Amino acid sequence: METVSTSKAYGGTQGVYRHASTATGTDMTFAVYVPPHDEGAQLPVLWFLSGLTCTHANVMDKGEYRRACAELGVILVAPDTSPRGDDVPDDDAYDFGKGAGFYVDATEEPWATNFQMRSYVEDELPALIAAQFPMADMARQGIFGHSMGGHGALTMALRNPDRFKSVSAFAPIVAPLQCPWGEKALGGYLGPDRAAWRAYDACALIADGARVAGILVDQGDADGFLAEQLKPELLAEACKAVGIALILRMQPGYDHSYNFISTFMGDHVAWHAERLK
């Protein structure tokens, strides 16, 4: 692992790191904030998955999470959203290819060689964090994200309830099988068999038996993607049908931007910290 940069923030360390990924076959860059802590302390780990077009830098620069993480003693890890590099295939569209990995393991060419973001975030990067950050308590992990990253957080938590003890999301894509973003991405990465898509759809996973103890979702009611792409009412219906405790907060006047995310970031970090004690 190569250290790209470190700087002090709220008594802790904001770092950016790079490593050669086996899963994606590329170099991958990620951010880690380690709050101030006593020597030998073990701290819970919170994963933030970003949305379309983003890298680790978007939440690091605009998410305003460090004060809450420092006060509550939580490590925050922010991976990239896709593999990158001159040899990585791309679609020249903001919602597919580079910057739009959708946290899936692609099976269709030319995407399958590099676009293995599920394996990268679920397996490879956690192993690296455990090896390189001895203060990280990998028995206490939570996960959250925004938009495409909210989709990633929900699906990873539902597939791995023993690993992720808490899950939340900002404006998540809750049902990729039922929206244009999801149909394009899952069809392109996984092929035409919609049955294979269900492992990457939160509502479908719940219908198929996946369970978590509870979910927090914040959604702006002025979000331009709300009706066509996000459809939080579908998640509410899926959770109600099986008794998953969903807190869905519709926030008046808020849009899809990091102005929205940063406003409620402290609430989400506190939500996870309480469940990761």
What pLDDT, in 10s, does the model give residues 226-236?
999 999 999 99
Which pLDDT score, from 0 to 100, does residue 8 have? Answer: 98
Centre a 10 Å sphere on the Cβ of residue 236 and count the other Cβ atoms it contains. 17
Please give the model's pTM, rounded to 2 decimal places: 0.97
Pairing between β-strand 27-34 and β-strand 75-78 as defined by DSSP bridges = antiparallel
- Chain centre to alpha carbon of residue 123: 14
Task: Give the pLDDT confidence of 23-56 residue by residue, as tens digits.
Answer: 999 999 999 999 999 999 999 999 999 999 999 9
Q: How buried is residue 138: exposed, middle or buried, by Cβ count under 10 Å (0-12/13-18/19+)?
A: middle
Q: Are 84 and 145 in contact (CB under 8 A)?
A: no
- What residues are annotated to the active site? 147, 223, 256
Which pLDDT score, from 0 to 100, does residue 16 have? Answer: 98
Which pLDDT score, from 0 to 100, does residue 196 have? Answer: 96
Which pLDDT score, from 0 to 100, does residue 144 have? Answer: 98
Task: Give the pLDDT confidence of 109-152 residue by residue, as tens digits.
Answer: 999 999 999 999 999 999 999 999 999 999 999 999 999 999 99
Contacts of 95 (CB under 8 A, 6+ apart): 52, 181, 184, 185
